[in-house]
Amino acid sequence: MYEYIRTLVPEERLLFHEPMSRHTTLRVGGEAECIIMVETQDELSQLIQYLSRSGREYFVLGNGSNLLVGDKGYQGVILKLGKRMQQIRVEGNHIVAGAGALLSQVSAAARDAGLSGLEFAAGIPGTIGGAIVMNAGAYDGEMKQVVKTVRVMDKEGEILTLDNDTMEFGYRTSIIKDRPFIVLGVIMELTTGETEQISIRMEELMALRKSKQPLEYPSAGSTFKRPEGYYAGKLIMDAGLRGYRIGGAQVSEKHCGFVINAGGASAADVKEVIEEVQERVKDRFHVRLEPEVIFLGDF
């Protein structure tokens, strides 16, 4: 398999037995069999078609946020979007961004162009691709509000363009959650604003985020989805789990909705904390907390 892959991708963009702790915001995870740094749509198309035909498991990686990789690693191929799939450009009141572009960079580009609508995304530690898949949001904003069209690739390497309605955006979900699509890029439609006012709003939200969230520790972001009619963090706090710890994994004392790597955590530690939180909250409040975090590989 790798002899063929080497005909598609230069050797310097292949990483074998690479620790996933280097590629996730939680800073935990065992080795991936192989990470391929993908720079073009053509490369991605050929790789996807080949891996699909050969039955090899693969996972498309952006910034590694919202992801927990097991300590025993991932026995498959990681396709990591490279710099040529991170491009951002402004066209009138539209932002065109590649799937690998960081939300922070895209929101900064919008601000600099005097375009409003992405202020909420400035502090979300992920890529546009991941944000589209889960309809990322914060502070009353979400991707659904700004997305015009999304370009995706299917497992046959074909490229499709989906409009906002077709994306079926919901709370932390989209049509891509249930389809074998890979996000390539997105066009967002924003509104004209004043750069100074946009900057002020972004600074306000960033200050709020810093005061409320444990940004000083590695984490996968918010660990649980918000259950209907409740707040996950409050349920966890009321269950007496503030600061609850197993090994190096801990329920944040600053915001109980975050499980953090307080130092030297293993993936198993994080997983055990998540499962204990789920069990205790269900026992006490009869509410099932659903993780936002994606579990990948062997634990």
Total Cβ atoms within 10 A of residue 128: 33
Instruction: Supply the residues annotated as catalytic.
Output: 172, 222, 292
What is the 3-class SS of 59-105, one letter each residue?
EEECCCCCEEECCCCEEEEEEEECHHHCCEEEECCEEEEECCCEHHH
